[in-house]
Chain A
Amino acid sequence: MLIDLDTLNELKEIMEDDFDELISVFISDSQTQIKSLQEAINSSNSEDIRRIAHTLKGSSANLGINDLSESCRVLEHKAADNSLEDANELFEKIKTNCETAISALEENFIQ
């Protein structure tokens, strides 16, 4: 599963009206972060890569988007170790994970 629907349903139940905001904030924020991440990788700015991967890791984990969170965790660590050989490869994976997650969110939670 790319996204954990149980987690999301629990959140929806708890957050009630705020849940819609959470989803839309995640979608727009994650899209912004993917763009920033692309720029950071292009300029080989490992500090920016680490920070963005860290943030995306945390927010995706909260929403139960575990594949995306895991990919971000790997990139965050590589950036921290300054070993960015396969950064592009990882980025593509993150981008795909993110797009898939957004589609799933839109499909399941946006009326």
Chain B
Amino acid sequence: MQTQAYLVVATLIFLIGAMGFLIRRNILVLFMSIELMLNGAAMLFVTFSRQLRQMDGHVFVFFIIALAAAEAAVGLSILIAIFRLKHRVNVDELTELKG
């Protein structure tokens, strides 16, 4: 019962993040949607860790958080570089890499 409730919350957070990533056009909001999806996945790890009585899931959440920090640093510096060049944050207008 308790495990199911936690899993449903984690899934809902992941789905909201995925929905936001597909619908929104502002690159900052896309970035934050990715963070939401990562958090939904982390919540799943913690819930199953408790269900299975093994702490390996907690270690994986540690790795997820480290990865999110690295992603935030690189992603935001790319964003600053793009904004300095184009003064736009709408992903539909950033088409330089389109072949």
| A and B pair up | no
